[in-house]
Structure 1
Amino acid sequence: MSCKIVALQLVSESDPISNLQVIDQLLSQLNPQSNDLVLLPENAICFADKHQYLKLSEDLGDGTYQTQLAQLAIKYQCYLVCGSFPVKSEQKDKIFTTTLVFSPAGLLISHYHKIHLFDALVSDEQGAYKESDTFTPGKKLQTFDWVTDDGCFKVGLAICYDLRFPSLFQALREAGSEILLLPAAFTQITGKAHWQPLLQARAIENQCYVVAANQGGIHAGKRHTYGHSMIISPWGDILEKLEMNPGFVSAPFSHRVIKEVRSSMPITAHNRFISVLK
């Protein structure tokens, strides 16, 4: 049986314990098979403000909440990817917002510090978003190996606002990625306008599966996230989508589909722009 790729959709609040309970409940309903790949959205453990993020933050690979995430990976024997978690940096007043990847053995096997920070004006009740007040940007691309009974597959990591920067995803494809993970807390306004077309574009132009886990509902402080978590094929087809509220979407992973799409249209070999730059 092929392993599944899964996106959990949440409406996280500021209380980590409550959020972890919801994650546990959804994982129980999902009942993942051994080595399934499960993605949580951005801010899965805490959806709050700078003060709470700083208070919650832990050293990378060491802390109460990272231990609980590792235990969930062990309990459900899946690759559990926490979309973002506040991780301490060398700056006292700023932290990283970091994707954490746990193996079925509960080991932290990879992490990614969000590179592009969301500093923008949005026509919603919050208005101004300035992640750079809280977070410091990462500098490195990151992938990890998803090991299954059917083989080992490269997975590329990105977070939310990164979605608007296609060169990042092209670099992940060049690094060997066959699956692209995009945890997010896209706002209702920006999500309605751009979420689905951007996700489909990243899948089509890189000929990768895209797994997108978004926050989906109304949070404390009247933050409204767009939801519409989805899984997209390397051809750009939406395999499954959940519009709003907590839940999950899943689809079987097929390496054959990737090979067929890439062999029938070998765009990386045809890309003369990259060869000119080199």
Structure 2
Amino acid sequence: MAVRAALLVEELQRKRPLVHCITNYVTANDCANILLAIGASPIMADDPEETGEIAASASALVLNMGTPSRRKLEAMVRAGKSANEAGIPVILDPVGAGASCLRREMAAQIIREVKVDILRGNVSEISFAAGLDFCEKGVDVSEADQGRDRTEAALAAAERLGCTVAVTGSVDVVTDGSRVIRIHGGTPLMARVTGTGCMTSALSGAFAGAGKDPLTAVSAALAAMGIAGELAFEKAGHIGCGSFHMALLDAVGNLNEKIIRERAKIEER
């Protein structure tokens, strides 16, 4: 998988896929810039009057629930249906899916009306979005137990929804319901910069838009983001969060096949 992920970076940079992001106003700028940095082209259209038309001409569609509204839900459903008709991969990031009734309803309606190819979030978000009867264990459990939580949630969600699921954490877990990929990497400092999860979902759209299968695409995106985080920490982690943020964007822009091949830590079950 590490070799396939490395080759996919080159393929992405050759194809320059157009990624349609309907995302939140907190991280829209970061998502657009991370797409440009990796070699993709972003378009951030979010008005229901045009999202269907825009999605039909894109290479991938990324739906992010970070700042939900009824209007944004309409925009996402229209775009998702259009992407489905055109055979374009759809990535859903159900940010805070269990935090409010609106978010739960929004995730449920999108999943009901749109065929989602990749679902990416933390274990709680994935569980709520997939309607699982699942509760993450407390903070005083071992990392091994937390890893089992992520794997169990990912497998259950993939089986229920029939899509590729990525559950992110200290170790990321990706599955299509049969194969299970674990990706190691990153740095705790990434959690102190808002939007790194949203940026990862945007990158997943870029890799999926390059034309590979969803499992390889999201695995490559997670590996790339983790490596970029490590490189950014080596360069600017000692300075502070702001410098790290800028260094993260630089690192993504400098990624290539050689760096991914040498630094990716991916294991497959």
Bucket of the pairwise TM-score, normalised by the shorter protein: 0.3 to 0.5
Higher normalized helix content (fraction of residues)? 2
